[in-house]
Structure 1
Amino acid sequence: MRIALKLLCSAIAITLAAPVMADTAPAAPVSGAPVYAVVARIPGADGGWDYAAVDPVRGRLYVARTDAVMAVDLASGKVTDHFAPATRAHAALPIDQGRTLLETDGTSGLTRFIDADSGKTLAEVATGKKPDAAFVDHATGLVVVMNPGSNSVALIDPKTHALVRAIAVPGGLEAGEGDGHGHAWVNLEEANALAEIDLKAGTLVRTVALDGCDGPTGLALIGGATRVLSACSNGVVTVVDTASGKLVQTLAVGAGPDAVIVDGPRGLAFVPSGQAGTLSAISIADPAHLRVVATIPTQKGARTGAVDPRTGILYLPTATMVPAANGTDRPRPAPGSFVVLVVAPKPVN
């Protein structure tokens, strides 16, 4: 049953994580650690999913789905399964103070700019093969789209919808983020490495090998862009110092993560692990000494998500996965099983 999330949000407070030390072992209970739990499930249409994002201006959750962008009004819980059309959507990112929605279309190779009021397409830009993750670089004002199918990073002017340039970056591009100074860091899933890119010059600066990391996907910059967190499919998060380019820490999380979700106001980063069915909470209050401070049971399949910075509530799309009939294709979501898990901090007594 759909819930009025506004009422839920107003009743929730957050427990701040206590200072912690570095650790590469699985998380043990930490005194003073935040306590989270799945408090609701928002059902949606059948199909696959990828990245999610919260627009705090409009109070809306977007989820990139197989054939559409799904939208959820977080005040009322109203779900619009087909807010905007898509063909194998990967990113659904609110930009321009929430007035526009950016969608990357894996099948068509297009990046779409969508009116957030009507859901109508404003412009389409051919960015490369299989466009996937995307972000807005605040130093240049450009939209940055990763195209793993063509080994390129596309830069788009969001005002004119013009393709500014494409930067060659081989190795299986996944998530990326800008450092606020014109450089970006991008995970290379196939190379098990991290790339630093100069967005202003349009050049690949360097790559950093992520030893012990198999298939880095989710990424986040923390500590004033002094550290890069990369979520690896083999159940670890690597931490790289951006100044030296050195791997300085490795944290154990659940198997099969596909995102790193940062809640800056609460000093936490979250890693949802789809194979393990867990959500790892990492204290980022001291970027030089990170530690997993809580492991929250969720549901298998929950590997991406987003946080509402206003409340600290997380939203994780998932479904019950069933093996393909021939045993070789990817598992598929069971009919009627897609939900968005609502993971909220427990109230402080």
Structure 2
Amino acid sequence: MLISLAASASPASTHSGAAENSNYAVQQHYPLGGTGGWDYLSLDPASHHLFIARDDRVMVVDTQSGKLLTEISGMQHAHGVALAPGKHRGYVSNGHGNNVSVIDLDTLKSLSNIAISGQNPDAIIYDSASDHVLAMNGRSNNISVIDPTAGKEIATIALPGKPEFAVSDGKGNVFINIEDKNQIVHIDTHANKLLHAWPLTACDSPSGLAFDAASQRLFSVCDNQKMAVTDASNGRQVAQIAIGKGPDAVAFDPQTKLIFSSNGEGSLSVVREDDADHYTALADVATQKSARTLSLDPTTHQLFLVASDPAPRGTPVSGFTLLVAGRH
């Protein structure tokens, strides 16, 4: 494993560049309200619609105004929304329903449910290369492969452990963090086959995952306050960077070459890709405690996070708010 000098900097030195280098800060707070937990956020930059998986519904927010446009009901512990704008469709993973809801991206209405054999679908993505939707099943340790045209599950792919987030390269390769085995796996979506399982050394419980297509680098965020960088072509781990506590999502901006980790402690770790194997931790930007998931608009370079008021575990969510971070 290669650790760059920037990646191995002490926590104190990661703050030395801080705001003057990253220039990111939370600029807007939009109260959305409502009860219930939340999970992944998905953004359609063309329509400026942000989809928030919110337990029994999907909230749809206009990112330009911060206004709640509608709530798509009928979900069963929704985890994520995979967007296929070319099809005018979205696909929602229902963890308690063991199915995937199909939504119309134009009318913002629910159309149907697709039953799957997997248990507790969590992360979900659309793979343009195969024209399939892939649901990562957290309890059955496999992937449900859905043909959206046929409207049914057509295959399952066994995994070595519990899948977390996944990314597609658009060329028939999908990569998935395996949370309980500290691994990242490589799937061939044309053959629906597991090709590789690579160790994520010194990365505990990897969750969020992002991808840089140009450098072929994968970015996994880990519970032990690390971001692990992996070569997607061979599984080589090339760097580890210190990040904040409680990360659950990560995004890569291909234009600015910045990587963002949203951390439940209330911070946004900003990391710069200097080249394919070297990375500099720029800053930990203050957000809000519980703001652990995010989505990036690659056209405006804004980041969208959600959080709620502090409350004892098990009590109802209150003060649910959309945070918008950007350069200042």
1:33 counterpart SS class: helix
Whether the aligned pair in 2 keeps the contact of 1:22 and 1:290 (CA below 8 Å) is: yes
* Cα shift at 1:161: 1.8
What is the total number of aligned residue pairs between the two structures? Answer: 319
CA shift, 1:170, in A, is 2.9
Q: Which runs of 5+ in 2 are unaligned?
A: none
2:7 to 23, 30, 50: 23
- In the alignment, is residue 298 of structure 1 matched against residue 280 of structure 2? no
Cα distance between partner residues in 2 of 1:341 and 1:74? 10
Equivalent residue in structure 1 for 2:319, among 334, 337, 344: 337
Corresponding residue number in structure 1 for 2:214: 224
Aligned equivalent of 1:234, options 224, 240, 247: 224
Partners of 1:37 and 1:284 in 2: CA distance: 19
**What are the residue-to-residue correspondences of 1:1-349 with 2, within 5 Å?**
22-25=6-9, 26=11, 27-30=14-17, 33-44=21-32, 45-80=34-69, 82-97=71-86, 99-127=88-116, 128-224=118-214, 226-274=216-264, 276-284=265-273, 286-323=275-312, 331-332=313-314, 335-346=317-328
After superposition, the Cα gap between the structure-2 partners of 1:153 and 1:225, relative to the gap in structure 1 and judged at 3 Å, is farther
Task: Summarize deviations over 1:195-243 as a string: whole Å, max 9, x none.
Answer: 1122222222221111211110101121436211111112111111122
What is the TM-score normalised by the length of structure 2? 0.91
Mapped partners of 1:314, 1:98: distance in 2: 25
The separation in 1 between residues aligned to 2:280 and 2:171, in whole angstroms, is 27
- Do the aligned partners of 2:85 and 2:105 also contact (CA within 8 Å) in 1? no
Give the match's secondary structure for 1:212.
Answer: coil
CA separation in 1, counterparts of 2:316 and 2:53? 18
Residue 16 (structure 1) aligns with: none
| Secondary structure, aligned partner of 1:72 | strand
TM-superposed CA distance for 1:62, in Å, is 0.9
* Preserved CA contact (<8 Å) 2:82 2:124: yes
Structure 2 CA distance for partners of 1:72 and 1:91, relative to 1, 3 Å: same
SS in 2 for 1:132: strand
Shift of 1:301: 0.6
Task: Point out the structure with the larger strand share.
Answer: 2
Letter in 2 for 1:29: S
Any idea what SS the aligned residue of 1:284 has?
strand
**Alignment identity in percent?**
34
Q: State the Cα deviation string for residues 279-315 of structure 1 (Å, max 9, x = none).
A: 0112135222122222211111111011122211111
- Counterparts of 1:277 and 1:286, CA distance in 2: 28
Distance in 2, Cα, partners of 1:340 & 1:177: 24
Alpha-carbon spacing, 1:280–1:204, altered in 2? closer, same or farther (3 Å): same
Contact 1:321 1:332 (C-alpha < 8 Å) held by counterparts: no
The answer to whether the 8 Å contact 1:179/1:225 transfers is: no
Which residue identity is paired with 1:90?
H
Deviation at 1:53, TM superposition (A): 1.3
Counterparts of 2:272 and 2:55, CA distance in 1 = 33
Offset of residue 189 of structure 1 = 0.5
Q: CA deviation at 1:81?
A: 5.5
- CA drift at 1:96: 2.6
Is the 2:81–2:91 Cα contact (8 Å) retained in structure 1? yes
SS in 1 for 2:241: strand
Question: Does the C-alpha gap of structure 1 residues 111 and 303 become closer, same or farther in structure 2, counting only changes over 3 Å?
Answer: same
The amino acid of 1:322's aligned partner reads A
2:216, 2:289 → 1: CA distance? 32
Q: Which amino acid aligns with 2:8?
A: T
User: Which stretch of the first structure deviates more once superposed, 144-153 or 93-102?
Assistant: 93-102
Distance 2:86 2:21 in 1: 33
Range with bigger deviation, 296-305 or 80-89: 80-89
Q: TM-score, normalised by structure 1?
A: 0.85
1:334 deviates by: 5.1
RMSD in angstroms over aligned alpha carbons? 2.0
Q: Which amino acid aligns with 1:208?
A: W
Is the CA contact (8 Å cut-off) linking 2:99 and 2:113 kept in structure 1? yes
